[in-house]
Amino acid sequence: MEGFLISKTLFTSCELGVFDVLLGADRPLSAEEISEAVGSSVDGTQRLLAACTGLQLLNTHQDQGRVLYSNTEQASVYLTRSSPISLFQSIQYSSRTIYLCWHYLTDAVREGRNQYEKAFGVSSKDLFEALYRSDEEMVKFMQLMNSIWNICGKDVVTAFDLSPFKVICDLGGCSGALAKQCTSAYPACTVTIFDLPKVVRMSREHFLTEADQRISFHQGDFFKDPLPGADLYILARILHDWTDKRCIELLSRIYKACKPGGGVLLVEALLHEDGSGPLTVQLYSLNMLVQTEGKERTAAQYAALLAAAGFSSTQHHLTGKIYDAVLGRKEM
């Protein structure tokens, strides 16, 4: 029960803008000042601030018998909208979308399928039609991806030396955050983001600028449309959405399009080979059950999928962070 309460406390504090108000102030603030700034009751705000203090998200200061509050360093870095490595959008997506699906976890376990229809009243037959059921929901999902790769992207694109791959295609590249990490780490490369037309439109409107000259777009459905030729294809948090059969179907399409000597980089959260952990990845796999058709896998399971599609010389690298990397090669 405590974990649920902690999560909702964090979600509410971010949604109200508590950490943003404190970041913008030039001094610690009282509960009364914060409640006025965010438009909430004084009593409710006092209780929320006390809980955030207990969670070590806020510092308290005594001033002539009054309790004043300020952000901890972690709160300012990760929980405010303006921080370049903010988790704010990820937290918002968890609160407004993932949590609603998890309300039906019991049904998901019983039925063995995702719960979008019950949670949102939309058909889940086309996974991404459900995920992108409105422009607002699509932007929220893209903001989630953006925040993840702003924090974790460098670790996964440098897990292997990708400098020999000059032409890279990021399949399902979404907001372009991982493409930016690639062009930053490898100045000689170019990256094409391949995604659905409506995702490309949103990315151009909200996330990428004309200053990103080594990043381009290609519109299409990677299960149906021709894939652009490349030295390296990146699938970041893609295969965990799909069944083994669909994964092999996609990887086989990539193998045919891939140049000899090229490869495919999978970016996923890897389970231990015996399935005993990490706990975060085990929980992510449950999340895949309530939200998608897929699951989290071990490095050996991803290697088997790659081999079934024709790739060989598979290696994996544990980054020590949430997401790891698996690299498969197409022989010359």
Rounded CA-CA distance 18/48 in Å is 10
Q: In what order do the strands lie in the sheet with 230-236?
A: 215-219, 190-195, 167-171, 230-236, 258-268, 324-329, 312-317
Cβ atoms within 10 Å, residue 264: 25
DSSP-based three-state secondary structure for 128: helix
Cα torsion for 117, 119, 120, 124, to the nearest 10°?
Answer: -30
Alpha carbons 124 and 64: distance in angstroms, whole number: 57
Give the 3-state secondary structure of residue 214. Answer: coil
Of 60, 146, 127, residue with least CA distance to 292 = 127
Catalytic site residue 240?
yes
- Asked if 226 contacts 220 with a C-beta cutoff of 8 angstroms, the reply is yes
228 CB-contact burial (10 Å; exposed 0-12 / middle 13-18 / buried 19+): middle
- Integer Cα distance of 196 and 214 in angstroms: 20
Q: Which two tokens stand for residue 52?
A: 């955030």
Cβ atoms 171, 229 nearer than 8 A: no
With H, G, I as helix, E, B as strand and everything else as coil, classify residue 69: strand
> In whole angstroms, how large is the CA radius of gyration of the chain?
22
Contact 168, 189 (CB under 8 A): yes
Catalytic site residue from 103, 240, 316, 317? 240
Q: Which residue has the tokens 């039925």?
A: 111
Provide DSSP, 182-204: HHHH-TT-EEEEEE-HHHHHHHH
- Annotated active-site positions, please? 240
